[in-house]
């Protein structure tokens, strides 16, 4: 009898916990979650989304990514959907502190690989069948190798590939870069790891590669960094989902840091006048889990 009473008391205690747990689970709204992935083996594409090689006179390396940020994310139903006419799920803050409208870097969300960049209720995503994703990338932070007087060093590059970015003061480790103004696509800053050396510069205008396989039917503005990629199978949002939808944006970093060579040795040597020409990501493959 005592054992029966003890069992009943135990059940009386734990049942409410199970009940609350189930209630909470059923009340959680399904979310759209977006994350980034960096792949050095993914196909290296050009602006038209076709496989590309490194031009004669240039060299490139696949950087080791630390973090990234985006300015704009859109789901597009088909190849004829013009930019801005799909479902926009994210738009980063902008400012006119530097004069013209620009991405406000101080408010940018910066994430590493696999970290959640965006999480919004699926109820905010229009029901439909989506074939394409557009992602306007704005900031990259990665490690590259440089050569100076025959010695190889590792350093960190901050790369600003958005259409226009307002920067106050930012840092790479202990190196401070006071800007207090707008910088167009292609601005970069570099610092050696554990060495007292830093520099900054600007890649040529319109030299940043931005792959868009549907450029003939749905072009993007010049100077933007709206990388476009298609789902292997359309992402269908029907409006009555009960589970999260997680999208992974796999970005090709296959030789994505490119420079013009003076010494043709495949080593980036800024001290001899080698200059950065392209920091664009080299392709987008979106996948999802429902």
Residue 140 lies in a domain: yes
**What are the pLDDT digits (tens) for 253-274?**
999 999 999 999 999 999 999 9
Residue 193 lies in a domain: yes
Task: Please give the pLDDT value at position 32.
Answer: 98
Residue 38 lies in a domain: yes
Which is higher by pLDDT, 28 or 176?
176
Task: Please give the pLDDT value at position 27.
Answer: 60
8 Å CB contact between 262 and 273: yes
Residue 8 lies in a domain: no
Compute the mean pLDDT over every residue in the chain, rounded to the nearest whole number.
91
What is the residue range of 55's domain?
31-289
Residue 105 lies in a domain: yes
Residue 187, CA distances (Å) to 68, 84, 119, 225, 270 in order: 15, 26, 29, 13, 15
**What are the pLDDT digits (tens) for 209-229?**
999 999 999 999 988 899 999
Residue 4 lies in a domain: no
How many domains does the chain fold into? Answer: 1
Task: Please give the pLDDT value at position 21.
Answer: 40
Backbone angles phi, psi at 269, to 5 degrees: -125, 85
Residue 3 lies in a domain: no
Residue 17 lies in a domain: no
């Amino acid at each position: 009898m005592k054992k029966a009473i003890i069992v009943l008391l135990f059940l009386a205690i734990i049942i409410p916990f199970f009940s609350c747990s189930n209630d909470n689970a059923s009340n959680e709204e399904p979310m759209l979650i977006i994350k980034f992935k960096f792949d050095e083996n993914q196909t290296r594409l050009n602006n038209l989304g076709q496989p590309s090689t490194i031009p004669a006179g240039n060299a490139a390396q696949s950087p080791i990514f630390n973090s990234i940020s985006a300015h704009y994310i859109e789901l597009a139903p088909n190849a004829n959907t013009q930019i801005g006419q799909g479902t926009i799920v994210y738009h980063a803050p902008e400012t006119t502190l530097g004069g013209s409208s620009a991405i406000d870097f101080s408010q940018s969300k910066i994430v590493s690989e696999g970290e959640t960049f965006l999480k919004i209720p699926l109820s905010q995503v229009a029901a439909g069948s989506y074939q394409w994703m557009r992602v306007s990338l704005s900031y990259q932070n990665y490690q590259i190798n440089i050569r100076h007087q025959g010695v190889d060093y590792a350093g960190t590059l901050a790369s600003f590939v958005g259409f226009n970015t307002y920067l106050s003061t930012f840092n790479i480790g202990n190196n401070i870069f006071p800007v207090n103004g707008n910088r167009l696509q292609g601005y970069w800053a570099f610092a050696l790891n554990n060495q007292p050396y830093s520099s900054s510069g600007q890649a040529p205008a319109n030299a940043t590669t931005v792959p868009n396989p549907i450029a003939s039917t749905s072009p993007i503005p010049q100077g933007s960094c709206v990388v476009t990629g298609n789902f292997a199978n359309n992402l269908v949002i029907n409006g009555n989902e009960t589970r999260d939808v997680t999208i992974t944006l796999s970005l090709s970093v296959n030789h994505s840091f490119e420079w013009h060579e003076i010494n043709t040795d495949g080593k980036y040597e800024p001290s001899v006048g080698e200059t950065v020409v392209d920091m664009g990501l080299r392709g987008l493959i979106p996948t999802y889990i429902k």
